Amino acid sequence: MAAAEMNNVNMMEDIQSFGQILNNFGLTARAKNRLTEDFPTANDLMASNVEQIKSVVANQNKMYRSHSTAAQRCYINTAQLNRILAFYRWTIFAIKDAQAEYNAASSANAFDLAWINSIVDTYNMKDPEVTAQSTAFSVTIPTFHGTNWHDVKAKMVALLNTRVGNSGIPLTYLVREAKYSWEDTETMPNLQERRRAYI
């Protein structure tokens, strides 16, 4: 496929792109072929959930690790599974939530082993627990009396920062000054800060 054509192909819907990404993540050709029987594209992976992905990999490993036919043997190790799960979570945040778009040409270079290894720990981390409605406020908001707006605002932001919503994100996104695109948040090292900026 020519480079110009690849620029017009959605990476998430392209079978070859997902295969290239799995190659980058260290999967053997046989392991990649087995996994893509269940998840042909990155969109199929994104539409699944963590337990389903783990189950598919566990069943595949059980069936093919010691297969009686040598040419059928394959295995996805823990490091490779963690890369797949991190990529899955990344697709949820970047593609589903932030509406970022990537073409097929991105799959070979942008989503390589160094990239996935750099995000594995962050993206496989559990979201913070949602703050229960019965949780007492830890910040007192002063009464607004016309001249203390900056103090009221600062305390309100501090309070919202202590309350975690359904997406595991502190509620300060409700009063942010601007909403950013996924690409504009790339320099933010903290995933929760990044999600707060674009959600």
**pTM: predicted TM-score of the whole model, two decimal places:** 0.80
Q: What is the pLDDT of residue 5?
A: 58
Higher-confidence position of 164 and 53? 53
DSSP structure string for the chain = --HHHHTTSBGGG-HHHHHHHHHHTT--HHHHHHHHHH--SHHHHHTS-HHHHHHHHHHHHHHHTT-SSGGG-----HHHHHHHHHHHHHHIIIIIIT----BTTHHHHTT-HHHHHHHHHHHTSPPPPPPPTTSPPSSPPPPP-SS-HHHHHHHHHHHHHT-B-TTS-BGGGGG-S----TGGGTT---HHHHHHHH-
| pLDDT tens digit sequence for 122-177 | 999 887 787 788 888 888 888 888 888 889 888 888 888 888 877 777 888 788 77
Lowest mean pLDDT among 40-44, 102-106, 124-128, 147-151: 124-128
